[in-house]
Amino acid sequence: MLITADMKMADLIHLDFQLLAVIQRIGIPLGFREKTIDEVCKENNVNTDFFLQISNSFHDKDFFPKERFFEFKAEWLVNFLRRTHQCILEHKIPEIELKIEGLVEDLKATTRNYELIKNFFTEYIRELKIHMELEDNKVFPYVVELDKSLEANKKTPKFEESFSDYNIQKYLEDHNDIEEKVFDLKNILIKYLPPPMDNCKYNSLLFEIFRLEKDLSDHAKLEDKVLIPKVKLMEREIKNL
Ligand SMILES: [Fe+2]
Ligand SMILES: [Fe+2]
């Protein structure tokens, strides 16, 4: 089902509650009453079309109008990606950590198993932070400055100063796959650990990890399929300035 501008925002959440994440990351607060998507977007200074393309692509994995995404301001995309990092690092990861800690009692007899999961996840968080910090501190500011330079028709002083020898290819070389390890963690839990005493707790941890994996793969898709090709086009344009 295609999500359209005249649909009520509240109905959108009933249709697909996972879109709550999109609404939050695009910067729209709750409390929609009977308002349509278009009305809510306008009230919050969000481009309705941008909201629709993102929502549709998260709702339906086959919907991905890459070219349409290229038309939107790079900064909108960067803000969305930044908020996703924040949500993952500040909320999702601590929730999973807490759930892992909750397993200590159940896995008491096999301390090694508990240590195995805990160490694996601790190492994963470390890598995830490095990955996201590089994007937040280097890649995204570069994209924003590139965008500003193109808009002004001349390179901004900040662009000249900080990014004159930077390009997106440098980021691509280190842009590793951050979902892969989440898949490994799922496998350790599903395949190799002894059956837990409290299945409910264990499943709830697994659900969280599945959700994190989906979130990270949607996120990486936006970076790899939209942000990077868009920046490559922008880099071609800036050469002519
Ligand atoms: Fe990212
Ligand atoms: Fe990334």
Contact 30/50 with Cβ under 8 angstroms? Answer: no
Distance from the alpha carbon of residue 219 to the mean position of ligand 1, in angstroms: 6
Per-residue pLDDT of the chain (241 residues; tens, 9 = 90+): 899 999 999 999 999 999 999 999 999 999 999 999 999 999 999 999 999 999 999 999 899 988 889 899 999 999 999 999 999 999 999 999 999 998 888 777 777 788 888 999 999 999 999 999 999 999 999 999 999 999 999 999 999 999 989 999 988 877 878 888 899 889 888 888 776 667 888 899 999 999 999 999 999 999 999 999 999 999 999 988 7
Ligand index nearest the alpha carbon of residue 219: 1
Domain parsing of the chain, residue ranges: 9-63, 73-238
Ligand index nearest the alpha carbon of residue 136: 1
Distance from the alpha carbon of residue 42 to the mean position of ligand 1, in angstroms: 27
Distance from the alpha carbon of residue 136 to the mean position of ligand 1, in angstroms: 8
* Confidence at residue 234, expressed as pLDDT on a 0 to 100 scale: 95
d(CA 37, CA 23): 10
* Confidence at residue 107, expressed as pLDDT on a 0 to 100 scale: 77
Contact 202/103 with Cβ under 8 angstroms? Answer: yes
Give the length of the chain.
241
Distance from the alpha carbon of residue 135 to the mean position of ligand 2, in angstroms: 7
* Confidence at residue 37, expressed as pLDDT on a 0 to 100 scale: 98
Placement of tokens 């809510």 in the chain:
40
Distance from the alpha carbon of residue 80 to the mean position of ligand 1, in angstroms: 10
* Confidence at residue 200, expressed as pLDDT on a 0 to 100 scale: 87
